[in-house]
Amino acid sequence: MKPEPSKKTEPLPLLLLVEDSQTTTALLSKYLGHTYRLLHAKDGVQAWDVLEKNPDIAIVITDIHMPNMSGHQLLVKIRKSDGAHHKNMPVIVMTTAEDNVDRNLAFLNGANDFITKPIDEMELVARLNVHYRLARTIRELEASKKALAEQATTDSLTKLKNRRAFFENGTKAVALARRYVSDLSVLLLDIDHFKKINDTYGHAAGDDALMVVANILLEMSRTEDTVARIGGEEFALLLPDTNRLGTAVLAERIRSAIEREQFIVGDKIVPITVSIGIATFGVDPADSIDQLLGVADNRLYLAKNAGRNRICVNDEGKTTFA
**Residue 158: CB partners within 8 Å, gap ≥ 6?**
210, 211, 214, 229
67 in any annotated domain? yes
Helices first, then strands: H and E counts in the chain:
11, 13
Nearest CA among 59, 69, 55, 65 for reference residue 28: 59
88, amino acid identity: N
70 in any annotated domain? yes
Active site residue 52: no
Same-domain pairing of 26 and 128: yes
* Last residue of one domain, picked from the residues 150, 171, 197: 150
CATH code: domain of residue 232: 3.30.70.270
Same-domain pairing of 169 and 139: no
Q: Of the residues 19, 140, 224, 233, which is catalytic?
A: 233
Structure confidence at residue 135 (pLDDT): 84
64 in any annotated domain? yes
Same-domain pairing of 140 and 175: no
**Residue 250: CB partners within 8 Å, gap ≥ 6?**
187, 220, 237, 239, 242
Q: Please work out, in degrees rounded to the nearest 5, the angle formed at the alpha carbon of residue 102 by the alpha carbons of 30 and 86.
A: 65
Using DSSP, state whether 285 is helix, strand or coil.
coil
* Last residue of one domain, picked from the residues 100, 126, 150: 150
CATH code: domain of residue 130: 3.40.50.2300
Same-domain pairing of 36 and 138: yes
Same-domain pairing of 114 and 205: no
* Bridge partners of residue 94, in order along the sequence: 63, 115
Same-domain pairing of 23 and 121: yes
- Averaged pLDDT in 10-residue chunks for the chain of 322 residues: 58 92 91 92 93 91 90 91 80 82 87 88 90 85 80 90 95 96 97 94 94 96 96 96 95 96 90 96 95 96 94 76 42
* Last residue of one domain, picked from the residues 150, 180, 203: 150
Same-domain pairing of 170 and 262: yes
**Residue 50: CB partners within 8 Å, gap ≥ 6?**
16, 39, 41, 57
Same-domain pairing of 144 and 183: no
If DSSP states are collapsed to H, E and C, what string results for 246-278? HHHHHHHHHHHHHHHCCCEECCEECCCCEEEEE
65 φ, ψ (degrees, to nearest 5)? -95, 105
| Domain around 83 | 14-150
Structure confidence at residue 208 (pLDDT): 95
233 in any annotated domain? yes
137 in any annotated domain? yes
2 in any annotated domain? no
| pTM score over 0.85 | no
Angstrom distance (rounded) from CA 240 to CA 244? 11
299 φ, ψ (degrees, to nearest 5)? -75, -30
8 in any annotated domain? no
Same-domain pairing of 217 and 126: no
Same-domain pairing of 182 and 98: no
196 in any annotated domain? yes
Structure confidence at residue 104 (pLDDT): 87
Structure confidence at residue 286 (pLDDT): 94
Same-domain pairing of 32 and 139: yes
Residue 173 DSSP class: H
Cα distances from 254 to residues 191, 273, 305, in angstroms, run 12, 10, 19
Structure confidence at residue 5 (pLDDT): 55
Same-domain pairing of 131 and 94: yes
Query: What is the total count of domains within the chain?
Result: 2
